[in-house]
Structure 1
Amino acid sequence: MTTVYMVRHGETDWNGAHRMQGRSDIPLNERGREQASCAAKALADVPFDVIYTSPLSRAEKTAEIIRGKRNIPLIEEKGFMEIDLGKWDGHTPDEMDALYPGQYDFWRSSPGDVHIDGGETFRQVQERAWKAFMAMVHREEGKTVLLVSHMGCLSTILFKIAGYPLNDLWKHPIGNCALCRVEAGAEGSMHIAEWGRDDYIPGRLKMKVPFGRVKD
């Protein structure tokens, strides 16, 4: 059995402002570092053999905080990067409405059908993330692995295992530093044991509006 603990990175200022966040390398903010510390405490007794992370700094720093002083190898893998949002990257929902009318609402209602100018589709994200995930599982067979990545990337992997349509992506959100756990059998079976668990993060560190438009 190979066990993969999957953790989304901690909060960034762009998360807090509800900006579209893809490949732009935005660092953790103070809340994000606190969230990562909470995850570190929750996972302190898990005997990780290896840690994989997206090379973006918000994921890498989260992985480093969870690792702490433990002597665990940390491997960067480009296949676990967030979706490339092209020209959308960095815009708020209101800015999206002004620049690309109707596209943000389409992104929220039918993410699996969205084609971003200069970016990726979620189908493309799923294909390269799944390839990287399966390569990791085969390489680390029988081990306990920590994977730190992004909501879009992690969600597509989980949706592949669960057989869910990508248009339902936002119906199963993963909060900042929330935990998912997948158990992979030697015969190729996959079981999702946990999805979006964040009970170890206090309410004061959770976003009141976890995803979407900020309403006054």
Structure 2
Amino acid sequence: MTTIYMVRHGETEWNAAHRMQGWSDIPLNEKGREQASFAAQKFAQIPLDAIYTSPLKRAADTAAIIRGGRNIPLTLERGLIEINLGRWDGHTPEEMDTLYPGQYDLWRTKPGEVHIDGGETFADVQDRAYAAFRRIVQKEKGKTVLLVSHMGCLSTILFRIAGYPLNDLWKHPIGNCALCEVDVDDGGAMKITKWAEDDYIPERLKMKVPFGRVKK
């Protein structure tokens, strides 16, 4: 059995301000580092053979905190980077409404149909993220592995395994430093055993409203 643990990075100031956050390399804020420290406690007694992370600082720093003093290298995997948001990157919902009318609401309600100027679609993200996931599973067969990445990226991997449509992406949010787990047997069959588990994160550290504005 190959066990793949997947953790979303801790909070950044852009998360807190509900800014669109893609390839911009925003570091963890104090709250994000604290979230990662609780994830580290969760993993303290879990033997890990390998750690892969998105190259962005918010993910790599989360991975380093979870690793702690263990002598395991952090392998940067570009396939695990967040969606490229192109010209949307860094904008608040209100700014999106002014600059790209209607697009933020489409992002929230039908993310699988979004085409970002200068960026990626979630289908693009799913193809390269799932390909990276399969490469890691093959390379680390029979081992226990940690992947640290981003909500959009991790969600597309889980959606490919579960067979869910990308338009439902935000119906299954993954909180900062929340845990997902996929077990892969010797025949390659995959089973999701944890999805967005975050009971080890204190309530005071959880974001109550994951998006800046929720439209009905």
Amino acid at match of 2:78: K
1:213 to partner: Cα distance = 1.8
1:27-62 Cα offsets, whole Å, 9 max, x none, are 000000000000000111110000000000000000
Distance 2:90 2:25 in 1: 11
Amino acid at match of 1:83: I
- Partner in structure 2 of residue 142 of structure 1: 142
1:208 to partner: Cα distance = 1.8
- Partner in structure 2 of residue 54 of structure 1: 54
SS at match of 1:42: helix
Distance 1:158 1:15 in 2: 22
CA contact (8 A) 2:9 2:149 kept: yes
Change (3 A) 1:214 1:167: closer
**How many aligned positions are there?**
215
Structure 1 residues 1-216: aligned runs within 5 Å: 1-213=1-213
1:149-201 Cα offsets, whole Å, 9 max, x none, are 00000000000000000000000000000000000111010000000000000
Amino acid at match of 1:35: Q
Amino acid at match of 1:108: R
Distance 1:208 1:110 in 2: 22
Identity %: 74
Amino acid at match of 1:175: G
1:135 to partner: Cα distance = 0.3
CA contact (8 A) 1:63 1:148 kept: yes
SS at match of 1:207: coil
1:212 to partner: Cα distance = 3.6
CA contact (8 A) 1:7 1:179 kept: yes
Amino acid at match of 1:8: R
Instruction: State the 4+ residue runs in structure 1 displaced beyond 3 angstroms.
Output: none
Amino acid at match of 2:23: R
SS at match of 1:7: strand
Distance 2:171 2:212 in 1: 12
- Tell me the C-alpha RMSD between the 2 structures: 1.1
Amino acid at match of 1:115: H
SS at match of 1:160: helix
Amino acid at match of 1:157: I
CA contact (8 A) 1:83 1:122 kept: yes
TM-score with structure 2 setting the length: 0.98
Farther-moved stretch of structure 1 (109-118 vs 202-211): 202-211
Distance 2:153 2:184 in 1: 18
Amino acid at match of 1:116: I
CA contact (8 A) 1:109 1:167 kept: yes
TM-score with structure 1 setting the length: 0.98
CA contact (8 A) 1:18 1:214 kept: no
SS at match of 1:36: helix
